[in-house]
Amino acid sequence: MTTMTDTSNAARFREFKMPDVGEGLTEAEILKWFVQPGDTVSDGQVVCEVETAKAAVELPIPFDGVVHELRFPEGTTVDVGQVIIAVDVAPGSGDTAPAAVAAPVAEPEPSEPEAPKGRQPVLVGYGVAESSTKRRARKGTSAAVPAAAAAAIQGEMNGHGAVVPESRPLAKPPVRKLAKDLGIDLATVVPTGEGGIITREDVHAAATPVPAQAPAPIAAAPVAAEAQAPAPAVVTTVGARETRIPVKGVRKAIAQAMVGSAFTAPHVTEFVTVDVTRTMKLVAELKEDKEMAGVRVNPLLLIAKALLVAIRRNPEVNAAWDEANQEIVQKHYVNLGIAAATPRGLIVPNIKDAHEQTLPQLAASLGELVSTAREGKTSPAAMAGGTVTITNVGVFGVDTGTPILNPGESAILAVGAIKLQPWVHKGKVKPRQVTTLALSFDHRLVDGELGSKVLADVAAILEQPKRLITWA
């Protein structure tokens, strides 16, 4: 029976859930809380910083009040839709805590505060689907479980619940084929899909080598352990000879993406060594040009422009493979990705519609992209929708590499270090500035001839940068 006090509490205490950040992300780690219980918060105030699989994001709260409870400590990975903070929106009106915060009591039907109707606070779009996740019943209740098998699987994933009898794993035919190709036994894969269905991401995660875990101590009181909030993952050291670091956040996303790309797209990598002396002279001249004032001019700028021109001359390379529909999707725009090393790992933000930008505009976009990445402020949207990528391994003094495709893209260009080397120029051996380019491409949709033409065009432009004008 719902009392007037319960109703007033539901209206007084509001809960803020982990928002849906879009781009298929389902969880985020709480990096830092900026508020504590008892602090006053206002609509739009940032209350915490979370790290998704793609970036660190600050979360603003959408209402005023006083912080009543932080549901998870820093370092905890929380699913989208879970309540992370409770706020008293009518402080001073009573001392009764909300029902959801109180200790669980056995009752026929557990009641929870009704979620606010209409648009809910999210980072991308206009809201998440209502009641997309279901909470399991509290222990001691007599509520029926509509989907026993799915609940049991979820219980095992959370470390509690009954053991699921052995049965054929739930997975769609394409996922079964992927598992077969990767040599993965579906019976060993932990499902994360709705109803205990194994997804492609689950298979890729199972294919990624994971450090062996130390055996967990036997729990003396399962009920008490269940009531505790999940402990944040920490770096563990075995003796003084090994260090174990939990795989999560950006590193986890990189691992899954690289395994998925390497085992899905047949990679071909071609190389060419080119004299870029004239390009380096042009870089020096552009640095003195008043039209380029206020923007950073470097070799990467002209390499990016050269790749854009090469794509314009060979548009078929700018495509994607649609496995579900068995189609090649040709893109009539170029979202140019730039691989960036950050303290949290490798990310690949992209410049939207880079093909439409002038050289000064492209320089400004590159500068903004790099500075945002270094500050850890790159948004998930900035890393979505890339078509081709450049990775500049030359900044580390490396001559070249065999880059792995960013998932969903057709090609990636690796740029090696630019070094002064002996080179035959106009019939004589002279010291010239030389670099090696490597182009990896998806051989399902890019034939060797097409890939070779693209790489040759980039090299030709860097050797004779006047082609940026004559070929444009």
Mutual orientation of helices 173-182 and 200-207 as an angle, nearest 10°? Answer: 10
Distance CA 311, CA 355 (A): 9
Give the pair of three-digit tokens for residue 107.
Answer: 């009752």
**How far does Cα 361 stand from its chain's mean position?**
27
Task: Out of 204, 267, 332, 443, pick the active-site residue.
Answer: 443
Distance CA 453, CA 458 (A): 9
Catalytic: 443? Answer: yes
Distance CA 184, CA 203 (A): 7
Give the pair of three-digit tokens for residue 392.
Answer: 């500049």
Residue 334: C-alpha distances to residues 305, 351, 360, 384, 395 (Å): 12, 8, 17, 12, 24
Q: How many helices (H) and strands (E) does the chain have?
A: 11, 21
What sign does the dihedral 210-214-219-223 (CA atoms) show? negative
Give the pair of three-digit tokens for residue 190.
Answer: 């932990």
Would you say 81 and 133 are in contact if contact means Cβ atoms under 8 Å apart? yes
Residue of 69, 73, 81 lying closest to 14 (CA atoms): 69
Distance CA 192, CA 260 (A): 17
Which positions are catalytic? 443
